[in-house]
Amino acid sequence: MVKAGKPLPEQALEFVPSNHILVVLGASGGIGQPLSLLLKACPEVDELSLYDVVGTPGVAADLSHISSVAKITGYLPPDDGLKKALTGADIVVIPAGIPRKPGMTRDDLFKINAGIVRDLVTGIAETCPKAFILVISNPVNSTVPIAAEVMKKAGKFDPKRLFGVTTLDVVRAETFVQEHTGEKDPSKTVIPVIGGHSGETIVPLFSLAKPAVKIPTDKLAPLVKRVQFGGDEVVEAKGGAGSATLSMAYAGYRFAEKLIRATKGEKGIVEPTYVYLPGVTGGDAIAKETGVDYFSVPVELGPSGAEKANNILPEINDDEKKLLEACKTGLKGNIEKGVDFVHNPP
């Protein structure tokens, strides 16, 4: 039972041992709330712990009335709230931080979000270093390297357990290509999207669609651009009220739910995600080919997390190779900026 606006009861800390304690950091936000709703409704989630700098008692109280399995608790910063929220966590999802307004790039968010992610991941390193960490906060191209460097500094980094959530790009590619597939359910078309998560660093590979898709030549470049800049579409439409939240909650849930199933032993679960390549089986070859250490590729998920990075680069066509070149240049700078932030704080 959760009481709105009051400190949560101490027994909230006594987690029953389980493999499915999920934590959402930034749980009161535009993404955090619908994502928490989806996780609360997921039968695989035993406990759901919500943390934010505002609003979590209310969000937790509201969600606690839903008659699903997950036991729900909410925490604020006072009285070691972050530590309490993270205690016993198996999976931590991070949508904390400010979103874009029209005219901004994701990199413009770095100034504020870099510090937020660093501090939250420091809490993870201290309290639940073995948890799987799913980073949603932008700029993902930089916040994931920040998370990795924080974990490395603490001597707790396991690259198989750190994921940049790029699923929204995959979801957009599936949705936007539908007009060329005739498929009633867009999620039935598998489109790998690789690279990073901003503009030209997003590389959708329509040539590798399964089942194959025939896209008229004059329609391909606009389709690729729409996936790369899909976030801008939502930012513009919201007119200053933020960026994608509902589609992101869906995408974040989709990735988290696949990871839960994979950790339970289900085989054959593959999803593109932004990982530290040198730490994942198969990643070295991709790092060598791209010249970057962080990159999104289809990753086989399993009980230990990112079990294998699938190198699909040899299969891409000449147009996609050109996209990849622009991607690499953008990514390099974003990654260096994240790494540098941890070692030479401003």
231 is a contact residue toward ligand LMR (CB under 6 A): yes
- The question of whether 197 is a catalytic residue gets the answer yes
Which one, of 18, 63, 69, 24, lies nearest residue 43 by Cα? Answer: 69
Helix or strand (DSSP H, E) at 233 = helix 230-238
Select the residue interacting with ligand LMR from 24, 96, 121, 235 (CB under 6 A).
235
Q: Which does 234 bind (CB under 5 to 8 A by kind): ligand NAD, ligand LMR, none?
A: ligand LMR
Cα angle, residue 209 at apex, residues 206 and 210 outer, rounded to 5°: 175
Instruction: Choose from ligand NAD, ligand LMR, none: what does 235 bind? Cβ within 5-8 Å by kind.
Output: ligand LMR
Binding ligand LMR by CB under 6 A: which of 106, 160, 161, 254?
A: 106
Other Cβ atoms within 10 Å of 303 Cβ, number: 12
Of 162, 204, 202, the C-alpha closest to 299 is 162
End-to-end alpha carbon distance in the chain: 43
What DSSP string runs through 35-63?
Answer: HHHHHHH-TT-SEEEEE-SS-HHHHHHHH
Flag whether 27 is marked binding: yes
Q: How far is the CB of 193 from ligand NAD (least distance, A)?
A: 11
Question: Measured at the alpha carbon of residue 147, what is the angle toward residues 144 and 152, in degrees to the nearest 5?
Answer: 125
245 binds, among ligand LMR, ligand NAD, none (CB under 5 to 8 A by kind): ligand NAD
Binding mask 112-151 for ligand LMR (x = CB under 6 A): --------------------------x-------------
Tell whether 98 is in a known binding site.
no
User: Tokens representing 250?
Assistant: 């869906």
Binder of ligand LMR out of 36, 243, 273, 311 (CB under 6 A): 243
109 versus 133: smaller Cβ distance to ligand NAD: 109
137 annotated as belonging to a binding site for a ligand: yes
30's contact among ligand NAD, ligand LMR, none, with CB below 5 to 8 A by partner kind, is ligand NAD
H or E stretch at 146: helix 140-153
**Residue 171 touches ligand LMR, criterion: CB under 6 A:** no
Q: Which stretch binds ligand LMR (CB under 6 A): 175-183, 186-194, 231-239, 259-267?
A: 231-239
Provide the binding-site residues for ligand NAD, judged by CB under 6 A. Answer: 25-26, 28-32, 51-54, 95-100, 109, 113, 116, 120, 136-138, 140, 165, 168, 197, 242-245, 248
Q: List phi, psi (to 5°) of 291.
A: 80, 10
Does 104 appear as a known binding residue?
A: no
Q: Does 272 bind ligand LMR (CB under 6 A)?
A: no
Angstrom distance (rounded) from CA 33 to CA 39: 10
Residue 87 in the binding site for ligand LMR (CB under 6 A): no
Q: Give the separation between CA 172 and CA 170, rounded to whole angstroms.
A: 5
Pick between residue 138 and residue 142 the one whose CB is nearest to ligand LMR. 138
Q: How far apart are CA 125 and CA 122, in angstroms?
A: 5
276/298 Cα distance (integer angstroms):
13
Cα–Cα distance measured from residue 242 to residue 232, given in angstroms and rounded to the nearest whole number: 10
- The window from 98-106, 141-149, 180-188, 330-338 that contacts ligand LMR (CB under 6 A) reads 98-106
Q: How far is the CB of 49 from ligand NAD (least distance, A)?
A: 12
φ and ψ of 112, to 5 deg: -95, -45
Annotated binding site for NAD(+): 26-32, 52, 113, 136-138, 248
Q: Which residues bind ligand LMR (CB under 6 A)?
A: 99-100, 106, 138, 168, 231, 234-235, 243-244
- Catalytically active residues are 197
